[in-house]
Amino acid sequence: MSADVDLTRLSLLLNELRLPAIKQCWSRLAERSDKEGWPAIRLLMALAEHEIAERARRRIERHLAEAKLLAGKTLENFDFNAVPMLSKAQISALCAGDAWLRNGSNLILVGPPGTGKSHLSSAIGLSLIEQGWKVLFARTSELVQRLQVARRELALEAAIHRLERFDLVILDDFAYVTKDQAETSVLFELISARYERRSLLITANQPFGDWNKVFPDPAMTLAAVDRLVHHATILELNVESYRRRSALQNKRKGLGRPAHFATPKNVGVPREEADQ
């Protein structure tokens, strides 16, 4: 390494160019380059690749923190054998996200409680984040409550607009029992705002025929279902609950209480490697 290099100025230049990963690793790679006689283009390529990889890693961590996915729920630990009607190849295709997310299409998972709908939806969300998409996971009741607060503050339109930055909003436990017209109206406005523009992933315990429990107005029920199923992929998980079996297995193994939200550590997102 040349002794003529002004290390302080180099550090300032890398800061100015917003290249923090190169700033961290350049000396190690430059030393290796000197020892192994790399041509300049190889060193430049190594530095650029490292910066790109670090930007991708930081982006995934940032998007994962925003997403509020369920902790530890991945496709790798989803029991496809317990839900034989699901095609693993179809789920893998959905995890790419390119076609349906670009078209603003929806994905609907319907089935009894305990059949893995929340696990699968969160795992799909994680896969999409790894592909560069932005995802938000929310319990439907909690998101509706936040939208109601925004409506009371005359800020509902702005709140719904902020959700547009997410390519996919996952509404977990959609068909919760309610007769509150204020709740159902903000939910309907969210569905209408994202229709054919941004995608929704819905998990619901009840079949469509029972959604009058969500939307007490029959006309609103029909309009909501129409918007959700248009351009939608519908997956039915009609199996007995294996949540109870998993809970019993965890109890026997003495496992502790799981984390609430997904983090890079509990969903296997690679961390930055330490400099050698």
Q: In what order do the strands lie in the sheet with 199-204?
A: 135-139, 168-172, 199-204, 106-110, 232-236
**Does residue 4 surpass a pLDDT of 80?**
no
Residue 176 Cα distances to 67, 139, 239, angstroms: 22, 10, 20
**Does residue 244 surpass a pLDDT of 60?**
no
Coil, strand, or helix at residue 83? coil
CA pair distance 158, 245, nearest whole angstrom = 43
CA pair distance 2, 121, nearest whole angstrom = 53
Give domain 68-264's CATH superfamily. P-loop containing nucleotide triphosphate hydrolases (3.40.50.300)
Note the pLDDT tens digit of each residue in 58-69.
889 999 999 999
Query: Tell me, what's the pLDDT at 238?
Result: 81
**Does residue 181 surpass a pLDDT of 90?**
no
Give the closest residue to 142 by CA, choosing from 272, 23, 260: 260
The amino acid that residue 140 corresponds to is T
- 110 with 235: CB under 8 angstroms? yes
Give the closest residue to 63 by CA, choosing from 12, 8, 137: 137
**Does residue 1 surpass a pLDDT of 50?**
no
Query: Tell me, what's the pLDDT at 56?
Result: 86
Report if pTM > 0.85: no
Query: Tell me, what's the pLDDT at 224?
Result: 87
Q: Crossing angle for the helix pair 181-194 and 218-229, nearest 10 degrees?
A: 30
Give the closest residue to 166 by CA, choosing from 39, 64, 263: 64
**Does residue 100 surpass a pLDDT of 80?**
yes
Q: Where are the alpha helices (DSSP H) in 68-214?
A: 88-96, 98-102, 117-130, 140-152, 156-163, 181-194
Mean pLDDT of 1-27: 82
The residues spanned by each domain of the chain are: 7-65, 68-264
Query: Tell me, what's the pLDDT at 266?
Result: 64
In degrees rounded to 5, what are phi and psi of residue 111? 170, 170
Residue 275's pLDDT band (cuts 50, 70, 90): very low
Query: Tell me, what's the pLDDT at 257?
Result: 54
Query: Tell me, what's the pLDDT at 162?
Result: 96
Give the closest residue to 150 by CA, choosing from 160, 141, 165: 160
Cβ-proximal residues to 183 (8 Å cutoff; 6+ apart), any chain: 144, 145, 148
CA pair distance 92, 85, nearest whole angstrom = 15
* Dihedral over alpha carbons 239, 116, 83, 250 (to 10 degrees): -100
- DSSP state, residue 204: E
Name residue 109's beta-bridge partners: 203, 235
